[in-house]
Amino acid sequence: MLHYETFKRKQEQVTLSFASKSELAVGLLLERYIPDFEMIPGKTFQVPIAFGKQCDFRIGHLYIEYHPVNLQFDFRDKQALHELRKGLRHVKKPFKEQIVEALKQELAERYYRERKHAVEAWGTKDAELVVVQDAVELYRRVIKPYGRQIPKEHVFVAEFNRLKK
């Protein structure tokens, strides 16, 4: 589902569509902390890649996907998801959490491999793909290495949480 958001950039009102409020927060924080980054559809935001896909953001050769794993959406076989949930009802909590976490890690890796393949097939051999699932990963894997005048991690995370509301 796309969310159309209007926000102020410098002196102009800008309207762009985002998959979620969290994706909007990522974009706004990239604009704030990455030198010369501005969300431009098709160039630095919702960038086309192979197989009819798009990548959320692009900074030079760095492609950035914001993709928190959600079993409801990332499980391709809905009947298998239903069976998993039915079976998990009979598993005690600490073990249930381990199983769900392992599944999320597997789904995140599958998503990364699929997106990496699409980025490489697009013809950008030197491209690097970063998939982040939350504000901490965004800070550590994108903002800290590529940003300027960045705040402490806990301040950044609080800013992310405020922006996504």
At 18-56, the pLDDT tens digits run 999 999 999 999 999 999 999 999 999 999 999 999 999
- Please choose, from the candidates 34, 37, 33, 41, the residue with its C-alpha nearest in 3D space to the C-alpha of residue 15: 41
Cβ burial, residue 5 (10 Å; 0-12/13-18/19+): middle
pLDDT at 156: 98
Mean pLDDT of the residues in the chain: 93
pTM for this entry: 0.88
